[in-house]
Structure 1
Protein backbone atom coordinates (compact mmCIF):
# COMPACT_ATOMS: atom_id res chain seq x y z
CA UNK A 1 0.00 0.00 0.00
CA UNK A 2 1.36 3.41 -0.98
CA UNK A 3 0.73 6.42 1.28
CA UNK A 4 1.22 9.85 -0.30
CA UNK A 5 1.16 13.37 1.17
CA UNK A 6 -2.49 13.66 0.10
CA UNK A 7 -3.39 11.23 2.89
CA UNK A 8 -2.38 13.86 5.43
CA UNK A 9 -3.21 12.13 8.71
CA UNK A 10 -1.61 8.75 7.99
CA UNK A 11 1.33 10.35 6.18
CA UNK A 12 2.08 12.58 9.19
CA UNK A 13 1.85 9.58 11.54
CA UNK A 14 4.15 7.47 9.33
CA UNK A 15 6.65 10.35 9.11
CA UNK A 16 6.75 10.54 12.87
CA UNK A 17 7.11 6.82 13.49
CA UNK A 18 9.52 6.06 10.63
CA UNK A 19 12.09 8.23 12.45
CA UNK A 20 11.38 6.42 15.72
CA UNK A 21 11.72 2.98 14.11
CA UNK A 22 14.90 4.05 12.29
CA UNK A 23 16.48 5.40 15.49
CA UNK A 24 15.62 2.23 17.41
CA UNK A 25 17.81 0.07 15.14
CA UNK A 26 14.88 -1.82 13.68
CA UNK A 27 13.80 -3.12 17.07
CA UNK A 28 10.21 -2.18 16.48
CA UNK A 29 7.14 -3.33 14.61
CA UNK A 30 4.31 -1.75 12.68
CA UNK A 31 1.00 -3.57 12.48
CA UNK A 32 -2.67 -3.07 11.75
CA UNK A 33 -5.42 -4.35 14.00
CA UNK A 34 -9.12 -3.66 13.35
CA UNK A 35 -8.37 -0.66 11.14
CA UNK A 36 -5.99 1.04 13.58
CA UNK A 37 -2.33 1.46 12.64
CA UNK A 38 -0.03 0.59 15.59
CA UNK A 39 3.70 0.70 16.17
CA UNK A 40 5.87 -0.30 19.09
CA UNK A 41 9.55 -0.22 20.01
CA UNK A 42 11.00 -1.15 23.40
CA UNK A 43 10.45 2.41 24.69
CA UNK A 44 7.78 4.08 22.55
CA UNK A 45 4.42 2.80 21.35
CA UNK A 46 1.33 4.26 19.77
CA UNK A 47 -1.45 4.14 17.24
CA UNK A 48 -3.49 6.34 14.96
CA UNK A 49 -7.28 6.10 14.62
CA UNK A 50 -8.54 7.84 11.47
CA UNK A 51 -12.27 8.08 10.84
CA UNK A 52 -13.98 9.75 7.90
CA UNK A 53 -17.73 10.24 8.07
CA UNK A 54 -17.54 8.22 11.33
CA UNK A 55 -16.11 5.13 9.57
CA UNK A 56 -12.58 3.77 9.99
CA UNK A 57 -10.58 4.81 6.92
CA UNK A 58 -8.16 1.86 7.01
CA UNK A 59 -10.63 -0.85 7.95
CA UNK A 60 -9.84 -2.59 4.64
CA UNK A 61 -6.22 -3.27 5.68
CA UNK A 62 -5.59 -6.81 6.85
CA UNK A 63 -4.57 -7.40 10.45
CA UNK A 64 -0.90 -8.08 9.74
CA UNK A 65 2.64 -6.94 10.45
CA UNK A 66 3.95 -4.39 7.95
CA UNK A 67 7.33 -3.07 6.89
CA UNK A 68 7.64 0.63 6.12
CA UNK A 69 9.88 2.12 3.43
CA UNK A 70 10.17 5.55 1.87
CA UNK A 71 10.36 6.19 -1.88
CA UNK A 72 12.49 8.83 -3.62
CA UNK A 73 9.35 10.99 -3.89
CA UNK A 74 9.07 10.77 -0.08
CA UNK A 75 5.92 8.60 -0.24
CA UNK A 76 5.62 5.66 2.14
CA UNK A 77 5.13 2.06 1.12
CA UNK A 78 3.62 -0.41 3.59
CA UNK A 79 4.17 -4.07 2.72
CA UNK A 80 2.88 -7.09 4.60
CA UNK A 81 5.52 -9.16 6.36
CA UNK A 82 5.16 -12.90 6.04
CA UNK A 83 5.61 -13.95 9.69
CA UNK A 84 6.20 -17.57 8.70
CA UNK A 85 9.52 -16.54 7.11
CA UNK A 86 10.76 -14.87 10.29
CA UNK A 87 13.15 -16.62 12.65
CA UNK A 88 11.53 -18.10 15.77
CA UNK A 89 13.16 -15.60 18.14
CA UNK A 90 11.90 -12.67 15.99
CA UNK A 91 8.39 -14.16 16.00
CA UNK A 92 8.51 -14.39 19.80
CA UNK A 93 9.83 -10.84 20.09
CA UNK A 94 6.98 -9.58 17.88
CA UNK A 95 4.41 -11.44 20.01
CA UNK A 96 5.86 -9.92 23.18
CA UNK A 97 5.82 -6.42 21.72
CA UNK A 98 2.25 -6.73 20.47
CA UNK A 99 1.13 -7.90 23.91
CA UNK A 100 3.03 -5.04 25.54
CA UNK A 101 1.37 -2.31 23.49
CA UNK A 102 -1.99 -2.93 25.12
CA UNK A 103 -0.50 -1.96 28.51
CA UNK A 104 1.46 0.95 27.06
CA UNK A 105 -1.42 2.84 25.45
CA UNK A 106 -3.81 2.52 28.39
CA UNK A 107 -4.70 6.08 29.33
CA UNK A 108 -4.35 5.77 33.08
CA UNK A 109 -4.71 8.86 35.25
CA UNK A 110 -5.19 12.29 33.62
CA UNK A 111 -2.28 14.60 34.50
CA UNK A 112 -2.32 17.77 32.36
CA UNK A 113 -2.73 19.28 28.91
CA UNK A 114 0.07 20.43 26.62
CA UNK A 115 -1.05 23.54 24.73
CA UNK A 116 0.31 24.73 21.40
CA UNK A 117 2.27 27.61 22.93
CA UNK A 118 3.88 25.43 25.65
CA UNK A 119 7.65 26.04 25.70
CA UNK A 120 8.83 23.63 28.41
CA UNK A 121 7.01 20.43 27.50
CA UNK A 122 9.33 17.95 29.22
CA UNK A 123 9.59 19.91 32.47
CA UNK A 124 5.82 20.46 32.63
CA UNK A 125 5.05 16.76 32.18
CA UNK A 126 7.89 15.74 34.51
CA UNK A 127 6.62 18.07 37.25
CA UNK A 128 3.05 16.82 36.85
CA UNK A 129 3.87 13.12 36.74
CA UNK A 130 6.97 13.10 38.95
CA UNK A 131 8.78 10.96 36.35
CA UNK A 132 12.02 11.48 34.51
CA UNK A 133 11.47 11.93 30.78
CA UNK A 134 14.23 11.31 28.23
CA UNK A 135 15.41 14.35 26.28
CA UNK A 136 15.20 12.22 23.14
CA UNK A 137 11.39 12.31 23.45
CA UNK A 138 11.28 16.10 22.92
CA UNK A 139 11.02 16.03 19.10
CA UNK A 140 8.10 13.64 19.31
CA UNK A 141 6.38 15.71 21.99
CA UNK A 142 6.67 18.86 19.86
CA UNK A 143 4.66 17.08 17.15
CA UNK A 144 1.91 16.33 19.67
CA UNK A 145 1.17 19.73 21.19
CA UNK A 146 -2.50 20.26 21.99
CA UNK A 147 -2.47 16.87 23.73
CA UNK A 148 -3.86 15.47 26.95
CA UNK A 149 -1.26 13.73 29.11
CA UNK A 150 -2.02 10.57 31.09
CA UNK A 151 0.12 8.42 33.37
CA UNK A 152 0.04 4.70 34.02
CA UNK A 153 2.59 2.51 35.81
CA UNK A 154 5.49 2.76 33.38
CA UNK A 155 4.31 5.07 30.62
CA UNK A 156 3.36 8.66 29.96
CA UNK A 157 0.64 8.70 27.29
CA UNK A 158 -0.09 11.66 25.03
CA UNK A 159 -3.45 11.73 23.29
CA UNK A 160 -3.86 14.20 20.44
CA UNK A 161 -7.21 14.66 18.67
CA UNK A 162 -7.96 16.79 15.66
CA UNK A 163 -10.81 17.30 13.27
CA UNK A 164 -10.23 18.09 9.59
CA UNK A 165 -13.50 19.83 8.72
CA UNK A 166 -13.02 19.96 4.93
CA UNK A 167 -12.67 16.18 4.75
CA UNK A 168 -15.04 15.41 7.65
CA UNK A 169 -12.19 13.44 9.19
CA UNK A 170 -11.41 12.78 12.86
CA UNK A 171 -7.85 11.78 13.79
CA UNK A 172 -6.77 10.48 17.19
CA UNK A 173 -3.07 9.87 17.75
CA UNK A 174 -1.92 8.15 20.93
CA UNK A 175 1.77 7.89 21.83
CA UNK A 176 3.08 6.17 24.98
CA UNK A 177 6.58 6.92 26.26
CA UNK A 178 8.35 4.55 28.65
CA UNK A 179 9.33 6.42 31.85
CA UNK A 180 9.78 3.85 34.58
CA UNK A 181 11.98 5.76 37.01
CA UNK A 182 10.33 8.26 39.29
CA UNK A 183 11.96 11.20 41.00
CA UNK A 184 11.17 9.82 44.46
CA UNK A 185 13.13 6.62 43.90
CA UNK A 186 16.15 8.34 42.39
CA UNK A 187 19.10 9.47 44.44
CA UNK A 188 18.58 13.12 45.26
CA UNK A 189 21.81 15.12 45.26
CA UNK A 190 20.16 18.05 47.05
CA UNK A 191 19.88 15.90 50.18
CA UNK A 192 23.50 14.86 50.14
CA UNK A 193 25.34 15.85 53.32
CA UNK A 194 28.76 17.42 53.05
Structure 2
Protein backbone atom coordinates (compact mmCIF):
# COMPACT_ATOMS: atom_id res chain seq x y z
CA UNK A 1 0.00 0.00 0.00
CA UNK A 2 1.05 3.55 -0.50
CA UNK A 3 -0.04 6.81 0.96
CA UNK A 4 0.48 10.40 0.01
CA UNK A 5 1.30 13.05 2.59
CA UNK A 6 -0.23 16.50 2.58
CA UNK A 7 0.85 18.43 -0.57
CA UNK A 8 3.73 20.80 0.03
CA UNK A 9 5.37 23.54 -1.98
CA UNK A 10 8.91 24.74 -2.72
CA UNK A 11 9.32 27.75 -5.03
CA UNK A 12 11.50 29.99 -7.19
CA UNK A 13 9.95 33.23 -8.37
CA UNK A 14 10.82 36.17 -10.58
CA UNK A 15 8.89 39.42 -10.57
CA UNK A 16 9.59 41.35 -13.74
CA UNK A 17 8.78 44.86 -14.86
CA UNK A 18 8.69 45.56 -18.59
CA UNK A 19 10.37 48.52 -20.26
CA UNK A 20 9.84 48.79 -24.00
CA UNK A 21 11.10 51.39 -26.44
CA UNK A 22 11.11 51.58 -30.22
CA UNK A 23 14.34 52.89 -31.78
CA UNK A 24 13.90 53.18 -35.53
CA UNK A 25 13.03 49.67 -36.66
CA UNK A 26 14.62 48.10 -33.58
CA UNK A 27 12.53 47.14 -30.58
CA UNK A 28 14.19 47.09 -27.19
CA UNK A 29 12.34 45.21 -24.49
CA UNK A 30 13.60 45.22 -20.93
CA UNK A 31 12.33 43.56 -17.77
CA UNK A 32 13.54 45.39 -14.68
CA UNK A 33 13.30 44.97 -10.91
CA UNK A 34 13.18 41.22 -11.35
CA UNK A 35 12.51 39.10 -8.29
CA UNK A 36 13.26 35.42 -8.84
CA UNK A 37 12.62 32.52 -6.51
CA UNK A 38 12.20 28.77 -6.09
CA UNK A 39 9.75 26.60 -4.18
CA UNK A 40 8.55 23.05 -3.74
CA UNK A 41 5.15 22.79 -5.36
CA UNK A 42 4.18 19.28 -4.35
CA UNK A 43 5.88 16.45 -2.51
CA UNK A 44 4.46 12.96 -2.23
CA UNK A 45 5.81 10.21 0.01
CA UNK A 46 5.49 6.66 -1.24
CA UNK A 47 5.23 5.03 2.16
CA UNK A 48 5.59 1.56 0.68
CA UNK A 49 9.12 2.27 -0.53
CA UNK A 50 11.85 0.61 1.49
CA UNK A 51 13.64 3.91 2.13
CA UNK A 52 10.44 5.46 3.46
CA UNK A 53 9.49 2.78 5.97
CA UNK A 54 10.52 3.83 9.46
CA UNK A 55 12.50 6.83 8.17
CA UNK A 56 12.20 9.70 10.69
CA UNK A 57 13.36 12.28 8.10
CA UNK A 58 10.56 13.86 6.07
CA UNK A 59 10.75 13.69 2.28
CA UNK A 60 11.44 17.30 1.26
CA UNK A 61 12.78 19.26 -1.68
CA UNK A 62 14.97 22.14 -0.49
CA UNK A 63 16.14 25.19 -2.43
CA UNK A 64 19.23 27.27 -1.73
CA UNK A 65 18.92 30.97 -0.92
CA UNK A 66 21.39 33.72 -1.81
CA UNK A 67 23.22 33.20 1.50
CA UNK A 68 23.87 29.57 0.63
CA UNK A 69 21.35 28.27 3.16
CA UNK A 70 18.89 25.49 2.31
CA UNK A 71 15.24 26.41 2.72
CA UNK A 72 11.92 24.57 2.76
CA UNK A 73 9.80 27.05 0.81
CA UNK A 74 6.37 25.59 1.48
CA UNK A 75 4.36 28.21 -0.38
CA UNK A 76 4.86 30.72 -3.15
CA UNK A 77 4.89 33.48 -0.55
CA UNK A 78 7.80 31.70 1.17
CA UNK A 79 9.69 31.19 -2.07
CA UNK A 80 13.44 31.72 -2.12
CA UNK A 81 14.64 34.71 -4.14
CA UNK A 82 17.45 34.12 -6.61
CA UNK A 83 19.72 36.55 -8.44
CA UNK A 84 19.44 37.42 -12.14
CA UNK A 85 22.56 37.78 -14.31
CA UNK A 86 23.90 40.15 -15.56
CA UNK A 87 21.22 42.28 -13.91
CA UNK A 88 17.47 42.52 -13.49
CA UNK A 89 16.77 43.40 -17.11
CA UNK A 90 16.03 41.24 -20.12
CA UNK A 91 15.70 42.38 -23.72
CA UNK A 92 14.67 40.87 -27.01
CA UNK A 93 18.35 40.68 -28.01
CA UNK A 94 20.06 39.78 -24.72
CA UNK A 95 18.97 37.01 -22.41
CA UNK A 96 18.73 37.32 -18.67
CA UNK A 97 19.55 34.22 -16.67
CA UNK A 98 19.24 32.76 -13.22
CA UNK A 99 20.12 29.49 -11.57
CA UNK A 100 18.30 27.56 -8.88
CA UNK A 101 20.10 24.99 -6.74
CA UNK A 102 18.00 22.30 -5.10
CA UNK A 103 18.34 18.98 -3.31
CA UNK A 104 16.37 16.37 -1.45
CA UNK A 105 16.70 16.91 2.27
CA UNK A 106 19.66 14.90 3.66
CA UNK A 107 18.48 11.67 5.22
CA UNK A 108 15.15 11.64 3.40
CA UNK A 109 14.15 8.88 0.96
CA UNK A 110 15.43 9.16 -2.63
CA UNK A 111 13.00 10.27 -5.30
CA UNK A 112 12.13 12.06 -8.52
CA UNK A 113 11.78 15.84 -8.88
CA UNK A 114 9.97 17.59 -11.74
CA UNK A 115 10.54 21.36 -12.29
CA UNK A 116 7.82 23.50 -13.90
CA UNK A 117 7.63 27.14 -15.02
CA UNK A 118 4.54 29.11 -14.08
CA UNK A 119 3.31 32.67 -13.75
CA UNK A 120 2.97 33.85 -10.20
CA UNK A 121 -0.46 33.53 -8.63
CA UNK A 122 -2.30 36.83 -8.70
CA UNK A 123 -0.92 37.73 -12.15
CA UNK A 124 -3.41 39.93 -13.99
CA UNK A 125 -4.20 39.57 -17.70
CA UNK A 126 -1.23 41.67 -18.84
CA UNK A 127 1.12 39.87 -16.47
CA UNK A 128 0.05 36.46 -17.79
CA UNK A 129 0.28 37.64 -21.40
CA UNK A 130 3.83 38.91 -20.87
CA UNK A 131 4.80 35.65 -19.18
CA UNK A 132 3.55 33.74 -22.22
CA UNK A 133 5.85 35.89 -24.41
CA UNK A 134 9.01 34.79 -22.60
CA UNK A 135 11.26 32.34 -24.43
CA UNK A 136 13.30 30.02 -22.19
CA UNK A 137 16.46 27.98 -22.59
CA UNK A 138 16.92 25.47 -19.78
CA UNK A 139 19.87 23.37 -18.62
CA UNK A 140 20.05 20.71 -15.91
CA UNK A 141 23.38 20.43 -14.09
CA UNK A 142 25.02 22.28 -16.98
CA UNK A 143 23.57 20.04 -19.70
CA UNK A 144 21.19 21.80 -22.15
CA UNK A 145 17.67 20.39 -22.01
CA UNK A 146 15.53 22.81 -24.02
CA UNK A 147 16.06 25.97 -26.05
CA UNK A 148 13.70 28.67 -27.24
CA UNK A 149 10.61 27.21 -25.59
CA UNK A 150 7.71 28.90 -23.88
CA UNK A 151 6.85 27.93 -20.32
CA UNK A 152 3.95 25.89 -21.69
CA UNK A 153 6.30 24.09 -24.06
CA UNK A 154 8.78 23.37 -21.29
CA UNK A 155 6.09 22.02 -18.97
CA UNK A 156 4.93 19.64 -21.73
CA UNK A 157 8.47 18.40 -22.37
CA UNK A 158 9.06 14.70 -21.82
CA UNK A 159 12.17 13.90 -19.83
CA UNK A 160 12.24 17.11 -17.80
CA UNK A 161 12.24 15.20 -14.52
CA UNK A 162 15.29 14.48 -12.35
CA UNK A 163 15.09 10.72 -11.74
CA UNK A 164 16.50 8.66 -8.85
CA UNK A 165 17.84 11.63 -6.91
CA UNK A 166 19.73 10.80 -3.74
CA UNK A 167 19.19 12.81 -0.56
CA UNK A 168 21.74 15.57 -0.04
CA UNK A 169 23.00 15.56 -3.64
CA UNK A 170 22.85 19.09 -5.10
CA UNK A 171 21.47 19.84 -8.56
CA UNK A 172 20.93 22.98 -10.61
CA UNK A 173 18.31 24.28 -13.00
CA UNK A 174 19.72 27.11 -15.15
CA UNK A 175 17.38 29.35 -17.12
CA UNK A 176 17.97 31.98 -19.78
CA UNK A 177 15.01 33.94 -21.05
CA UNK A 178 14.23 36.78 -23.42
CA UNK A 179 11.09 38.58 -24.51
CA UNK A 180 9.24 38.11 -27.79
CA UNK A 181 10.35 40.92 -30.19
CA UNK A 182 6.70 41.50 -31.10
CA UNK A 183 5.77 42.63 -27.59
CA UNK A 184 3.92 45.96 -28.00
CA UNK A 185 6.05 49.00 -27.03
CA UNK A 186 2.97 50.45 -25.34
CA UNK A 187 3.39 47.80 -22.66
CA UNK A 188 6.43 49.59 -21.25
CA UNK A 189 6.31 49.57 -17.45
CA UNK A 190 4.10 46.51 -17.25
CA UNK A 191 5.07 43.66 -14.95
CA UNK A 192 5.15 39.89 -15.00
CA UNK A 193 6.69 37.15 -12.88
CA UNK A 194 8.42 33.80 -13.32
CA UNK A 195 8.06 30.96 -10.84
CA UNK A 196 10.10 27.76 -10.91
CA UNK A 197 8.21 25.11 -8.98
CA UNK A 198 9.51 21.68 -7.98
CA UNK A 199 7.24 18.66 -7.58
CA UNK A 200 8.72 15.57 -5.98
CA UNK A 201 7.76 11.98 -5.24
CA UNK A 202 9.81 9.53 -3.21
CA UNK A 203 11.07 6.27 -4.69
Shorter-normalised TM-score: what interval? under 0.3
In terms of fraction of residues, the more helix-rich structure is 1
Compare the two structures and name the one with the higher strand fraction.
2
Which has the higher relative contact order, 1 or 2, with Cα contacts under 8 A spaced 6 or more apart?
Answer: 2
